[in-house]
Amino acid sequence: MEFCVLRVVITPAGLNDHIIINAVWGLGPYAVDGIIRPDTYVVEKSDSFPILSRDIPEKAVQLVCYHEPKDNCNALPGDYGNGSHPEMTGGIREVPVPLEKRSAPAMSDDLIRQLSEYGQKLEAHYKCAQDIEWAVDPDGKIIILQSRPLKINAALPASSGPGTSAQPRPASIQKRPGSIPGYKVIIEESEVASQGIGTGKAFHVKSEQDLSCFPVRAILIAHHSSPEYTVVMRQCSAIITESGSISGHMAALAREFNVPTLMGLGAEKVLQDIPSGMEITVDGFSGRVYQGVVKELTAAVEKQDAHMKGTPVHEHLEKISGFMLPLNLINPKAPEFIPSGCRTLHDIARFCHELSYIEMFNVSDMASKRDQCSYRLSASLPIDLHIIDLGTGIKPGGSDDLKALDTCRGTLSIDRIRSVPFLALLEGMLNKNFNCVEPRPVNFSGFLSVMQEQMLSPGHVEERFGDRSYAVIADKYLNFSSRVGYHYSVVDAYCGETVNKNYITFSFKGGAADNIKRNRRVRAIALILTSFDFAVDVKEDKIDARFQKYPCPLIRDRLDILGRLLLFTRQMDMLMTTEDSIKWVADNFIAGNYKLSVL
């Protein structure tokens, strides 16, 4: 059989006496990272291990190992006929799952029962419920990779009657407890990733900035599960996410920190059903969420501290944190912003992040200047756009003018484009309601201030970017870098069938006006993108935005919006003469009024 990695959760006796198995085709990271929704099998703990239920979603892609000859463009026919061997290369990569196996179970019934038996033996050996990672090799042999305590107790404090008790129920009682009378149930049932009872005010988390201001004892509510939430697990009362896997990384971390956590089925609309600020109670035993504080539940369960202070692990982490956390490289223009100036891991990450923006453009420049490496897009756009195809972004054939130009292979029409994210971005840039040909209305005081800034600030001469824009494309990928005058913007996106791999990142920086007007422009852009559910970060005249883990139609929709925004923001800094202009510009864009009148 094909190699597959799976995970098994052994729930404790007295809870439901079940074994829960997750499975995917290929390597394990796609399961634990939530990229692929795995098969779920529920097995009863008994001598025959009867299979109680199966949930078999479609598994479109898989992560696999490969080992193959390295491409050698300089090799000649017959080079390997004299006993020499080609240079080999290897690693991991994503490949499609064969159509006949996409909706098929990744496990046979015999394999499920064999694994269940192994899991029960591990539970008996360690004397507690287990979270087990394992694999099946190409010969069908089970290999145990890891087994650790599940940290789910057998106590079921939720009860439908008075006198709630935290004592374990007999193993023979398998029925899910009823709801507590007298309280409104917001979520009737969901997947329990970590047990416990949590009360507090709901707090929606949509960005890293939200995490930085997370209130103590609040309940974290988010679209997707993420290991990033670890930074607030010590101060949050519970976590609810609309999607995620109980075998994922965040679920394991929540159990380590003893944070009640619900996710997935039953909680798909939690952001809509539970507004930020509402006081709720999370029952991490029954999977319910109540409005208000349920005293019967809070009285039954004593909250355990999640911190590790005083343990050997905490002492070791405290010693090495000085080499990891402090940030010394803050100003990219400072003389010490060099490789030898990095003194911590945080410094290295900051240094690499800053230089990566420069390299994005350098790679495009080098590629476009090589003979017959890029196409020039033939479209009614106010930018000189060159396309670099990674191999799957352009349809074969067509009637374009492929006569080589100075530094490109020729012109290319839009109907030859195959790249899904690039087509979505172009749709926005060519929106019929956005007339990019007409000149932008000019605020003359803003225009004069821009001219003054150019004449009195010679440093702008060095900062001016080239006027070429580039799109590096594949069928599901886009890296669009646009540089016009004194500002640049970068769109990097992936849009495919796997929701957890889909993302858009957007960066915008610069401008011809003074620092105040440039800052106002990026703040206006931030208001616009926030209204479309982007996570944004603004620093001086630069904005970084992120939109990730959404279905392909939503990714395409947001790329359409970015396409319009790219043209809408051109020369907008000269209009940003007052603080009021920030909201005025944002409101006009959101309303679809792209023809701005003079302030």
Q: Confidence class of residue 330 from pLDDT cuts 50, 70 and 90?
A: confident
How big is the CA angle at 440 (ends 437 and 441), to the nearest 5 degrees?
A: 140
Question: So where are the chain's domains?
Answer: 4-70+88-149, 185-300, 417-590
Task: Considering the domain delimited by 4-70+88-149, tell me its CATH architecture.
Answer: 2-Layer Sandwich (3.30)
* CATH topology assigned to domain 185-300: Glucose Oxidase; domain 1 (3.50.30)
In this predicted model, what pLDDT tens digit does every residue of 445-455 receive, in sequence order? Answer: 443 443 344 43
Cα separation of 468 and 490, whole Å? 13
Ranking 3-12, 188-197, 475-484 by mean pLDDT, the lowest is 3-12
Q: Confidence class of residue 354 from pLDDT cuts 50, 70 and 90?
A: confident
State both tokens at 68. Answer: 């193959």
3-state secondary structure string, 282-293? EECCCCEEEECC
Residue pair 70/86 in contact (Cβ under 8 Å)? The answer is yes
Q: What is the DSSP string of 501-522?
A: G-EEEEEEEE-SS-HHHHHHHH
What's the confidence (pLDDT) of residue 104?
93
What's the confidence (pLDDT) of residue 11?
53
3-state secondary structure string, 176-187? CCCCCCCCCEEE
Contacts 24+ apart (CB under 8 A), 291-295: 291/183, 291/184, 291/185, 291/186, 292/183, 292/184, 293/199, 294/180, 294/183, 294/199
In this predicted model, what pLDDT tens digit does every residue of 503-541 receive, in sequence order? Answer: 999 999 876 667 788 888 899 999 999 999 998 988 888
pLDDT for 401 beyond 80: no
Q: Report CA 505 to chain centroid distance, whole Å.
A: 10
What's the confidence (pLDDT) of residue 83?
56
**More reliable by pLDDT, 356 or 159:** 356
In this predicted model, what pLDDT tens digit does every residue of 258-287 receive, in sequence order? Answer: 899 998 766 778 888 999 999 999 998 888
Tell me how crowded residue 142 is: count the other CB atoms within 10 A of its CB: 13
Average pLDDT, the chain: 78
Q: What percentage of the chain has pLDDT greater than the value 70?
A: 74
pLDDT for 458 beyond 90: no
What's the confidence (pLDDT) of residue 216?
92
How big is the CA angle at 589 (ends 586 and 595), to the nearest 5 degrees?
A: 120
